[in-house]
A and B are shown apart, each in its own frame.
Chain A
Amino acid sequence: MRMVFDLDVEKCVACGACAVSCMDQNDIWPDRGDAPYRRVGVVEPLPKAGDGRLTYLSLGCMHCADAPCIKACPVGCLFKDEQNLTLYDNTRCIGCHSCAMACPFGAPTYGPDGKMRKCDGCAERLKNGLIPACVRNCPTGALSCVPEETYGTAAFDRSLRAIVEHAER
């Protein structure tokens, strides 16, 4: 089954429960120099928008359908698995950061050994019928990881609802 990661920015509050759950799952210790696979942030209101609205985001690897990091890697560490997740084997990683430069989301990180690491979509959990750690604990339901077919329907539903809500205002 091909899976899609999604963030509903209308629900996210950048509380960081996803980031911490990811650290718990993947044994990431920022105090020992590990870079997190998932981060949260608050974007202050954009002056041009003039609505004083804060935006809350959670960012990790989006497991893009046409992932630029895969093409960027000169030694072929990155690949797609059968679930459409962008996985890697960093045995041959030369630490050139080409993947990081190609990634629009800043997903690839580098460990103390200089080798690339990043979110693997909790591929092994998915194979065992468990959902990814970040999604599992997300207290607002902002993060999701769903089969591609469901995602298409959900996105369409959301568009319909947005139109209705807009009309009501």
Chain B
Amino acid sequence: MEEKELERRLAHKIPGADTGIEVKHSFCSICSPSCHCGIDAYVKDGKLLKVEGTQGHPMNDGLLCTKGAANRAYIYRPDRLRTPLKRAGARGEGRFEPISWEEAYDLIAENLLRLRAESGADSVAFFGGYQKWFRWQLARFAYDFGSVNYGTESSACMTANKMAWTTLTGMNAKMDMKNAKLYVAWGGGNHHSHHLAAKKAENFHRNGGKVIVVDPRNTPLAARTADLHIAVRPGTDGLLANAVAGIILRNGWQDQAYIDKYVHGFDDYAAYVTSLDLQEVSRITTVPVEKIEEMARLMGTVKPMSIEASPISLIHQTNGYQTVRAMFSLSVITGNYDTVGGNQPNIETFAHLGAGYATREEEFIEANTPAGFENRVGAKRFPLWADMVHEMQSLDLARQIHEGTPYPIRGLFALGFNYRIFPDSEYFRAALEKLDFFVTADLFMTDTVKYADVVLPTCSSLEREELKVYPGGFAKYYLPAIAPLYESRSDARILQELAERLDLDDALLRSGYRKCLEYVFEPTGYDLDALIASPLPLKAPCMRPYKPHAYIDGGCKTPTGKLELFSERVKTVGAAAGLDPLPRWYAPSYQPTEEYPFQLLAGVRIPNAIHSHLHKVPWTRSLRPEPMADMNPADARALGIAAGDTIRLVSAFGAITVKANPTALMNQGQICMYHGYSEADVNTLLDRNNVDPYSGFAGYKNGICAVEKL
């Protein structure tokens, strides 16, 4: 009887001394660093049995999304890399032979040093993709090697938002939604991409807060929380924002005392935004005049107001930087910036997260930056990016590999790299064939890995130690819940061991992850051992309460020290490139034509995927087994297309075959197609030269296509 009872408890994964199932604290890193939820990992005999959200965790308080719940199937994906590999067949063929770590390091050192001797250190580019956590160490590693060419996939994500806030205020910014009365969810905060933000929005709405949702789609957030839903035409959000500003100024709803004291360039800005013709704006944005006026009334009169901009959708228009700058300007003219309940300065704490306190990360990264940094990839083509971002603009990497100008790139060292993230991804795939030496570290045998000369197996967040910071002033130092699978090693260990092998002149980096953390977190007052011992994240001893206007009173980190509606920085560095110091709107390059009548939005989030990471995980894939294009039911009917029909999306650059998903979620005239599918890569339909001249971001949401029923 007792034996049967134990069997049953084991089968149902009940933790306890009798079952030998332990619950360990870990975290999910499948998604972006801003959503890394705490995980309770059920572990027995070194094997992960099950995951749950950690209750009481400041990030997710017990909840997990579709993706996070799939951690076990993700970690044990059958195509996990088990050993280091050396390419045995042609590039892309996928034939490899297993080698030892020692052999792999020898090959890497031999080739990187050869390229450096032959063509200079800059001829080797260093790229950091998912899972992003190692970036601070990878950047330093690249600079130690002597290359100016370190870059990340943030060349296509989030950075343009930070650039816009920084242009305007001198720093990145965050919301203080908890104390707001009006929340503007501009293209973001959706249930299907960021469940934690959506939950906050629902609570905010339930507690009587006013909500404006600007989103072309009929999302659950819009349907359930919006007092005002603006289904703006994609690519025209910036015009809408400027028109709203014009109405606010015409009605005198601006905070004039605040503007007089803190703002630079108000008159030029006011002249521009008040010159916009509302009828014309309504025609272009497809938003009725009364709705634009209602939006202006709410934003001009309900205080305090927090504005949230999606870190992807808006800045994937080729006018994205100007668009988000126009939106954030609304926070400034209404006096909502640097206030309780408004938008507040956001200190970059660590590993792409603002947690409310400072570390020495920037110093750590930039200490050994080599000379000639102005020659990094993309710097000449995107002067504003070069002035504001301490990385190469990776969008230009494939071009430089192909064309060899202004100098050749012969080697690529990557941690987590997927060529399919780039527009016209075929062009980057072809660039990989031209490289002299390509090494990448990854968890899985991906399409990109098949092009590498040497492949290193890395491990997931459940298999490694990592210190993570969290908004609100928190941090937690996680130890591995299980040992690294097979022969995999953590990215941090790889960098340390390779720094040793390459004999880089950097004692700190060579001293390992923990020692580097001690350096970076020295000013925080944290005891790292206490951060390990505590089951939940701890508050930083250095954390100070927020003081309204403290930052703007002290002088902003902008050229004039003020909030710049007219940017002196853009005027100085962007004049030659024709960049506008005002957040003036311009139409994105591609507009539907007779041949390609639909706006194509690549990569709009679906709940069961994040980039390509989960396409091969059976649990999440079973929820949406086929690559599907979302389209409006009336558009589908007009083309004789029914749900589940096989269709082709065609552009001037390529074509993919997918299934049709007619849904009332979508507006007419628009197609949403998720990215990263090997068999239907929507990025092959995009123009690689269709980019935002301010940020270098590609127009992922500015494609056009035709839809054909097969």
Contact = CB atoms under 8 A, between A and B. Distances in A.
Given A42-B663, A137-B69, 13 more contacts: A16-B620, A16-B623, A25-B12, A25-B50, A30-B619, A31-B622, A54-B220, A56-B220, A124-B9, A124-B11, A128-B14, A139-B64, A140-B202
Interface string A135-160: 01111110000000000000000000
B222 to A, nearest CB: 11
Interface string A1-45: 000000000110111110111011100011100001000101011
Contact of A137 (B14, B53, B192, B220): B53
B44 to A, nearest CB: 13
21 contacts: A13-B198, A13-B220, A19-B622, A19-B623, A23-B622, A24-B51, A24-B72, A25-B50, A30-B621, A40-B623, A42-B663, A54-B220, A54-B663, A54-B665, A133-B52, A137-B64, A137-B68, A137-B69, A139-B199, A140-B191, A141-B199
A130 B62 CA distance: 13
A112 interface: no
Nearest to A40: B623
Contact of A20 (B62, B70, B191, B218): B70
Nearest to A53: B223
Indicate the size class of the contact surface on chain B: 35 or more
Q: Is the interface of A mostly helix, strand, loop or mixed?
A: loop
B380 interface: no
A16 B68 CA distance: 11
Interface of A: 10-11, 13-17, 19-21, 23-25, 29-31, 36, 40, 42, 44-45, 52-54, 56, 122, 124-125, 128, 130, 133, 136-141
A141 to B, nearest CB: 8
Interface in B86-129: none
A29 B618 contact: yes
B220 A20 contact: no
Contacts of A124: 8-9, 11-12, 14
Given A31-B618, A136-B62, A139-B195, A16 B14 contact: no
A7 to B, nearest CB: 15
B218 A54 contact: yes
Given A17-B64, A44-B663, A52-B218, A140 B195 contact: yes
Contacts of B452: none
Nearest to A42: B663
Contacts of B621: 30-31
Given A16-B623, A139-B195, A30 B618 contact: yes
A19 B608 CA distance: 11
Given A15-B191, A16-B607, A124-B12, A52 B664 contact: yes
A137 B54 CA distance: 10
Given A45-B664, A139-B63, A139-B65, A13 B12 contact: no
